[in-house]
């Protein structure tokens, strides 16, 4: 009877260990251990091969791509306050959210700087409510359309996004971008907040290099809550 109990126990341990091994797929964001300096570098799994995973490193040319074994990989660390959305080529990915999970950004001067050029300071009122942050990937030779749809037409919810996002620099402490686009209702003179809120969209493109993209869903002045759908359409 004792040997039978021992066999069951060993079988349980083996099953538990096997289940805990992480699995990865093409398109997953990972961090890769560099054996020479002991540091981790972020990248994307381009392809799964017999001898390992083909990795493209953020900020590096394709010539630096390399095949690494799973022992050097770990899932990419979460960026505090910024949720990751896994974009998919030729597919629209939708997430839902609410402005009440975000925060008000007191300093908006960074947006009108020449290195960012997201919107002119006269339009700050469209981004003075609570903001919720996301980020995604824009592969080279791709176009990304980002749309926010307020669920309540009385809630004025806008959008901005920029490519070339470095996780170490999150607005308002951001100093440059490859391209920045913002979307809000158009107006001359003073905004009319009595008009029903409509979907807002921006588009970003990548030609020879891939980019990380920072996305902010933003309420206009005094917009502190409101449900929305955020649609990421990668072509």
Please tell me whether residues 189 and 103 are part of one structural domain: yes
Please tell me whether residues 46 and 151 are part of one structural domain: no
Q: Is the pLDDT of residue 120 over 90?
A: yes
**What is the pLDDT averaged over residues 179-187?**
96
Contact 146, 182 (CB under 8 A): no
Please tell me whether residues 124 and 207 are part of one structural domain: yes
pLDDT band at 76 (very low <50, low <70, confident <90, very high): confident
pLDDT for 54 equals 95
In a domain, 184, yes or no: yes
Of the candidates 99, 124, 128, the one whose C-alpha atom is nearest the C-alpha of residue 224 is 99
Q: Is the pLDDT of residue 60 over 90?
A: no
**What is the pLDDT averaged over residues 106-115?**
96
Q: Per DSSP, which regions of the chain are E strands?
A: 29-33, 40-49, 52-57, 66-68, 73-75, 82-84, 91-98, 103-104, 130-138, 142-150, 157-163, 179-183, 200-206, 211-219, 227-234
What's the number of domains the chain is made of?
2
In a domain, 15, yes or no: no
**What is the pLDDT averaged over residues 138-161?**
96
The residue from 55, 75, 95 where one domain ends is: 75
Please tell me whether residues 58 and 127 are part of one structural domain: no
**Which residue has tokens 């975000």?**
102
pLDDT in tens, 162-176: 999 988 899 999 999
49: containing domain = 21-75
The residue from 75, 95, 112 where one domain ends is: 75
Please tell me whether residues 49 and 91 are part of one structural domain: no
């Amino acid at each position: 009877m004792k040997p039978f109990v021992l066999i069951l126990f060993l079988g349980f341990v083996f099953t538990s260990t096997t289940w805990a091994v992480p699995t990865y797929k093409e398109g997953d964001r990972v961090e890769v251990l560099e054996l020479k300096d002991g540091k981790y570098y972020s990248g994307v799994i381009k392809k799964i091969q017999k001898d390992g995973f083909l990795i493209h490193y953020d900020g590096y040319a394709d010539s630096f791509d390399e095949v690494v074994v799973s022992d050097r990989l770990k899932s990419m660390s979460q960026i505090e306050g910024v949720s990751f959305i896994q974009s998919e080529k030729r597919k629209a990915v939708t997430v839902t959210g609410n402005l009440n999970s975000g925060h008000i950004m007191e300093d908006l001067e960074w947006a009108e700087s020449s290195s960012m050029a997201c919107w002119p300071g006269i339009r700050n009122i469209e981004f003075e409510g609570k903001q919720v942050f996301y980020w995604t990937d824009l592969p080279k030779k791709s176009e990304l359309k980002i749309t926010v749809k307020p669920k309540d037409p009385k809630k004025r919810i806008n959008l901005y996004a920029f490519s070339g996002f470095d996780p170490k620099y999150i607005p308002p402490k951001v100093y440059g971008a490859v391209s920045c686009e913002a979307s809000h209702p158009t107006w001359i003179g003073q905004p009319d907040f009595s008009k029903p809120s409509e979907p807002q969209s921006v588009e970003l493109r990548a030609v020879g290099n891939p980019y990380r993209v920072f996305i902010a869903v933003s309420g206009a002045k005094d917009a502190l809550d409101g449900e929305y759908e955020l649609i990421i359409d990668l072509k």
